[in-house]
């Protein structure tokens, strides 16, 4: 950033991910007059809290040295950056409430700016009565923080009850051979679930991903720590209703029972009940799909850009305001 400043600067704003912004905060003299924006791509402290709760719930083992190292190496710098920034951009009201609770910044310096979706994607969504039938879709890395263990437990509960529910698992890894990805993913599921699983690698082709949104009946996003959850918004733009946990930032923009079905994180029985409910009730799926599609229209990158510029203006000193 210093090299860019020297070659193409000076700049009015430095917009940096929170923990990395701590380095710039200590060297503000190298960037005179610039406003420092600390940006969340998923608040580190909430992500870490989710991992610790996963550990306590027996979903993963986090050794003691990791529970010491991460707060020192990541959380402390991130908190320092938040405190020293001229403004902070966050992804959800949950993050905003946490920052206010910690006393890092006053409310006027906090901006909650959600991600957007390209209008062309939403315009290309299938009709409300379009044929689907591919089952449930999970899209995300196969990590504990994505709720993989909870999803596997929930699907197993239903499979043992005799409910045949196809489940596509997309994005277990990238740069890893599919057999290795599939073996890792399937290892978390019960024998009863195995015949109903389809495992796909992470796809770089966005058109192929959106084709999956259009062919499936519901998205499942049971994350235990998720700053926003872009897949939920993408699915909504394609009239694909989502079941997501209350730890997914996007879920707070898609009201429960109107545009999504929200369940408690780490609650496999509640997730199983929601999965079965949407699978059996076409009317409920249609209602949630309609609500999700309508809400998706409120999320655009243009709106995100305009809100970001407004945040920049608020952080600039009066003499630099444009």
Query: Which residues form the domain of 43?
Result: 2-116+301-320
Number of domains in the chain: 2
Q: Rounded to an integer, what distance in angstroms lies between the CA atom of residue 279 and that of residue 284?
A: 9
Residue 12 and residue 143 in one domain: no
The answer to pTM > 0.85 is yes
Q: Are residues 138 and 54 in the same domain?
A: no
Helix (H) or strand (E) holding 183: helix 178-186
151 contacts 138 by C-beta, under 8 angstroms: yes
| 252 and 126, same domain (yes or no) | yes
Same domain for 215 and 269?
yes
Asked if the bond preceding 67 is cis, omega within 30° of 0, the reply is no
| Exposure b/e, 61-88, CB count within 10 A at least 16 = b | ebeeeeeeebeeebbebbbbbbbbbbbb
Other C-beta atoms closer than 10 Å to the C-beta of 43 total 25
Do residues 112 and 124 both lie within one domain?
no
Shared-domain flag, residues 41 and 156: no
Q: Say if residues 285 and 218 touch (Cβ distance below 8 Å).
A: yes
Residue 155 and residue 279 share a domain: yes
Torsion angle, CA of 228/231/236/242, rounded to 10 degrees? -90
Per-residue pLDDT of the chain (322 residues; tens, 9 = 90+): 889 999 998 999 999 988 788 888 788 888 998 999 999 989 999 999 999 999 999 998 878 777 788 888 889 989 999 999 999 999 999 999 999 999 999 999 999 999 999 999 999 999 999 999 999 999 999 989 999 999 999 999 999 999 989 999 999 876 778 889 999 999 999 999 999 999 999 888 999 999 999 999 999 999 999 999 999 999 999 999 999 999 999 999 888 889 999 999 999 999 999 999 999 999 999 999 999 999 999 999 999 999 999 999 999 987 644 4
181 shares a domain with 134: yes
Tokens of residue 133, six digits: 């039938």
- What is the rounded CA–CA span in Å between residue 113 and residue 57? 31
Q: How far apart are CA 259 and CA 288, in angstroms?
A: 5
Tens of pLDDT, residue by residue over 260-296, are 999 999 999 999 999 999 999 999 999 999 999 999 9
160 and 240 share a domain? yes
Q: Which residues contact 314 (CB under 8 A, 6 or more apart)?
A: 87, 108, 109, 111
Strand 35-39: give its sheet, edge to edge: 13-17, 35-39, 87-90, 110-112
For residues 124 and 231, membership in a common domain is answered with yes
Sheet holding 167-170, edge to edge: 197-200, 167-170, 136-139, 218-221, 242-245, 261-263
260 beta partners: 256
CA distances from 282 to 128, 133, 167, 197 (A): 12, 11, 17, 22
The CATH number linked to 314 is 3.40.50.2000
290 and 170 fall within a common domain: yes
Residue 172's SS3 state is coil
| 217 and 307 in a common domain | no
**In this predicted model, what pLDDT tens digit does every residue of 185-198 receive, in sequence order?**
999 999 999 999 99
């Amino acid at each position: 950033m210093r090299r860019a400043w020297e070659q193409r600067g000076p700049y009015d704003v430095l917009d940096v991910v929170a923990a990395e912004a701590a380095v710039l905060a200590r060297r503000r003299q190298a960037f005179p007059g610039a406003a420092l924006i600390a940006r969340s791509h998923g608040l580190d402290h909430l992500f870490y809290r989710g991992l610790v709760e996963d550990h306590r719930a027996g979903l993963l083992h986090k050794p003691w040295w990791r529970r010491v190292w991460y707060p020192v190496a990541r959380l402390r710098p991130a908190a320092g950056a938040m405190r020293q920034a001229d403004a902070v951009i966050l992804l959800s009201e949950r993050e905003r409430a946490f920052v206010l609770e910690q006393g890092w910044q006053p409310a006027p310096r906090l901006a909650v700016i959600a991600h957007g979706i390209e209008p062309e994607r939403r315009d290309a969504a299938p009709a409300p009565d379009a044929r689907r039938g591919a089952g449930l879709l999970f899209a995300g890395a196969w990590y504990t923080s994505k709720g993989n263990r909870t999803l596997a437990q929930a699907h197993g509960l239903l499979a043992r009850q005799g409910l045949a529910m196809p489940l596509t698992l997309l994005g277990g890894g990238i740069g890893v051979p599919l057999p290795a990805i599939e073996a890792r993913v399937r290892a978390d599921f019960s024998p009863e679930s195995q015949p109903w699983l389809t495992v796909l690698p992470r796809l770089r082709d966005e058109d192929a991903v959106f084709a999956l949104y259009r062919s499936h009946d519901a998205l499942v996003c049971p994350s235990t720590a998720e700053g926003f959850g872009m897949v939920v918004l993408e699915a909504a733009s394609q009239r694909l209703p989502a079941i997501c946990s209350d730890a997914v930032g996007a879920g707070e923009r898609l009201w429960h029972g109107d545009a999504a079905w929200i369940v408690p994180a780490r609650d496999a029985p509640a997730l199983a009940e929601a999965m079965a409910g949407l699978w059996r009730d076409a009317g409920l799926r249609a209602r949630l799909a309609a609500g999700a599609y309508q809400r998706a229209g409120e999320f655009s990158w243009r709106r995100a850009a305009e809100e970001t510029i407004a945040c920049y203006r608020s952080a600039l000193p009066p003499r630099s305001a444009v």
